[in-house]
Amino acid sequence: MKEFVLKNLYSFLGDQKAQLRIITFHDILSEDYQKFSDLVFYLKTNWNIISPNEFKKIINKEKNTTNGKNILISFDDAYKSQRIVTEKYLDPLNIKALFFIVSDFIKLNSKDEAHEFIRKNFFKFKNKNLKLNSQTKNMNLEDIKLLIQNGHTIGGHTKTHSQLSKIDDEKNLYQEIVASKDFLENNLENYKIEDFAYTFGDFESINKKSLKLIFKNFNYLYTGLRGNNYKINSKIIRRDAINLKENFKVISAYINGYTDFIYKNKLEELEKW
C-alpha cells in the first residue's frame, strides 16, 4: 500500500526543486550490487552527487545551491561490502562518500565474531537466531585507511552501536561518543573526525544529554529522520535510509521529500534542545 502510494505520487508529481539530501546504506549484498550501481547511475543522471565537503559548504552557506538537486551518499556501521561497492562503483566516477564507523566493530577478526556482534548490537529488537548472509562481515582499520586515502570521509557511529537515549551511566555515554572518536583518530594517523551519526537514527534513540555531548565533540549530527537539508538553520542533518529492495520510484519519492512531513515536528523538537 505504502509502496503503491509513493510510486504513484512520484509518477504524478515528479522531481522537486532545491534539494540537499543524504542517502544512507547499510550492508549491501552481492545480489544487490547491480541495483546499487543502477541507482548511482540514476542519481548521476538526475541529481548532483556531491562530496561531504561540498555538503558542508552548502550547510555553512559558503556555497549556493541554486543548481537544484544535490545528494550525498553515506554508509552506516562499517560493513565490508561498503568498501567493495565504493571501489567498484564510486571510485571510478570520483564520487566521495561519508562512512559512519562503529569503532568496536572494526576490531573484529572473524566472520563469526562479526555476526555475533551484529546480532547483539545492530538491531533494537534482539534476535539471537537471526540468520545473516555468509558474505556479511566488518571492515577493519586497513579498509578505513584505504577509504581515507581515496578521499572519502569518516565519521563516528558509537563504540558498540548502543542506543544512546537508554544509557544512564555517564562513563558509558562518554565511551560510546567520545572514546570511540579518540580511538579512530588515534589509529588513523590523527585524522580529524567532525561528523557523528547516532545509532538507529529515530527520535526515540537520542536524548538531550547525548545530543549535548555529541555537539561538544563533533560539528555535525546526522539522524535517520528524512528531510531536505537545504536552508536548515542547524547542524542536525536529515538523512534518507535506502533499501535497495525497493522500487526506484519509491526511492525517488523519498528523496524528493514526499514523506518528509512525517519527520518535521521531531526534527524541530531536536533543534530546540
Q: Kindly tell me which of 79 and 89 has the beta carbon lying closer to Zn ion.
A: 79
Size of the residue set binding Zn ion (CB under 5 A): 2
Q: What are phi and psi of 185, to 5 degrees?
A: -60, -45
Specify the stretch interacting with Zn ion by CB under 5 A; choose among 2-10, 69-77, 123-131, 233-241: 69-77
**Would strands 69-77 and 19-25 be described as parallel, antiparallel, or unpaired?**
parallel
Subset of residues 71 to 90 that bind Zn ion, contact rule: CB under 5 A: 76-77
The beta strand positions in 83-217, using DSSP E, are 98-101, 153-156, 195-197
User: How far apart are CB 224 and Zn ion at their closest, in Å?
Assistant: 8
Question: Which residues sit opposite 19 in a β-bridge?
Answer: 69
Q: What are phi and psi of 75, to 5 degrees?
A: -130, 135
176 near Zn ion, rule: CB under 5 A: no
Q: Kindly tell me which of 235 and 239 has the beta carbon lying closer to Zn ion.
A: 239
Would you state the cell numbers that stand for residue 124, as one nine-digit string? 533494537
Given a contact cutoff of 8 angstroms between Cβ atoms, the answer to whether 73 and 42 are in contact is no
Query: For helices 248-255 and 2-13, what crossing angle results, to 10°?
Result: 70
User: How far apart are CB 113 and Zn ion at their closest, in Å?
Assistant: 18
Q: Kindly tell me which of 55 and 222 has the beta carbon lying closer to Zn ion.
A: 222
Q: Kindly tell me which of 27 and 77 has the beta carbon lying closer to Zn ion.
A: 77
DSSP string, 120-144: HHS-SS--TT----TT--B--HHHH
Question: Which residues sit opposite 20 in a β-bridge?
Answer: 70
User: How far apart are CB 57 and Zn ion at their closest, in Å?
Assistant: 26
User: How far apart are CB 153 and Zn ion at their closest, in Å?
Assistant: 17
Q: Kindly tell me which of 23 and 58 has the beta carbon lying closer to Zn ion.
A: 23
User: How far apart are CB 198 and Zn ion at their closest, in Å?
Assistant: 9
SS3 238: coil
195 near Zn ion, rule: CB under 5 A: no
User: How far apart are CB 16 and Zn ion at their closest, in Å?
Assistant: 28
Q: Kindly tell me which of 77 and 176 has the beta carbon lying closer to Zn ion.
A: 77
Would you state the cell numbers that stand for residue 119, as one nine-digit string? 546480532
Which residues sit at the interface with Zn ion, rule CB under 5 A?
A: 76-77
